[in-house]
Chain A
Amino acid sequence: QVTLKESGPGILQPSQTLSLTCTFSGFSLSTYGMGVGWIRQPSGKGLEWLANIWWDDDKYYNPSLKNRLTISKDTSNNQAFLKITNVDTADTATYYCARIVNYGTPFDYWGQGVMVTVSS
C-alpha cells in the first residue's frame, strides 16, 4: 500500500526559507524509475507543479520558480524534501507530494497535503 504524508512549519514569515518533508511508504526511491514530485495549491485556486526528484537523483524544477527551489531525498528513510527560499505571501498554499513511476507518467498517489501560511 502506497502512502505519502507531508509535514511543514505551518506558518512562517516573509523572506524565510520554507522546508517541507514528504515521508512515504509502499515504494522506494532507490527503485529504478521511481520519483517523487511536489505540487502546491493556493486556497480556492488551481494546482502548480514545483519539482520532481528521481531514483537516480535526477532533478527537475518549474522554470518559473527554479531559482528558489531545492529538492532532495533520503532514500534510507523514505523521505523527500523541498526547500523554498525567500518566501512571501504568494507562497501561502497547501503543498502536496506525490509518487511518479517513470519519466512522463502522472502523479499516481498523493499525500493529504500540508497547509503553509506566510504572514508577518
Chain B
Amino acid sequence: DVVMTQTPVSLPVSLGGQASISCRSSQSLVHSNGNTYLHWYLQKPGQSPQLLIYRVSNRFSGVPDRFSGSGSGTDFTLKISRVEPEDLGDYYCLQSTHFRTFGGGTKLELK
C-alpha cells in the first residue's frame, strides 16, 4: 500500500504571508502511462473537501493563482502565497496512481 506523509501537521501563518505544505509518498507516483496522479484539496470547517490542484501542478476551475503545486516522483509541495482568510482549513494530498490514498492532512491556521 502507498503511504502518503504530509508535513507539517499544523502550519501557523499570517494573513498576506506564504505557506508551504509537503507531501511524500512511500513509492513513486509516476504511472506507467507517464502521468503523475497527485492532487491537493482544501477542506474548510464544516464543508466537504474542494479540489485545488490536480496532477501535481494544474489548478482546478476557479482556483486562484495564489495556489501552486510542484514536485515529482515521491516529493510534492503545495504553496499558497498571499494567504487570505478563506484559505484557512485542512489541506490534504491524494494519490491516485496506485488505488487511492490521502495524506494525513495539514491544518493551516492563523499565527
Contact = CB atoms under 8 A, between A and B. Distances in A.
Interface of A: 37, 39, 46-49, 52, 60, 62-64, 96, 104-108, 110-113
B50 interface: yes
Interface in B51-71: 51, 54-55, 60
B92 interface: yes
B99 A63 contact: yes
Size category, B interface: 20 to 34
Interface string B60-103: 10000000000000000000000000000000101011011111
A47 B49 contact: yes
Nearest to B33: A104
Given A63-B1, A64-B1, A108 B99 contact: no
Contact of A47 (B31, B51, B92): B92
Contacts of B102: 39, 46-49
Contact of A105 (B33, B92, B96): B96
A104 B35 contact: yes
